[in-house]
Amino acid sequence: MKIKFKHIIVLITLASLASIVYGFTLDKKKTESAHKFIGLGTVSLFLVAMPLFLYKESKHKDMKDYMLTKDNIMKMREKEGKNTGNQ
């Protein structure tokens, strides 16, 4: 059985959200442990799951396509001229 990278990201995300929800459902007597669960869930969501997701999604993409260079500006202007001419 081969576990895919996206399944790991989904598991981390679900575990993080579960930790946050569990932290909010704890009694007022256990506020210190509630804060720990909420903090752990938030940190794992934004410092573990999100970077893994961004790495997975941008793995085989050319970053030059997303940078604002003169060539890309010219391409955008050409596309804009074609789109407005058809309306």
In a domain, 35, yes or no: yes
Name the residue with tokens 């940190």: 43
In a domain, 82, yes or no: no
In a domain, 72, yes or no: no
Distance separating alpha carbons of residues 56 and 71, to the nearest angstrom: 27
Q: Which domain holds residue 20?
A: 5-61
In the prediction, which pLDDT does 18 show? 96
In the prediction, which pLDDT does 19 show? 95
pLDDT in tens, 17-68: 999 999 999 878 888 999 999 999 999 999 999 999 988 888 888 777 777 8
* For residues 82-87, average pLDDT: 62
pLDDT above 70 (res 71): yes
Beta strands per DSSP E along the chain = none
In the prediction, which pLDDT does 31 show? 87
pTM above 0.75, yes or no: no
In a domain, 74, yes or no: no
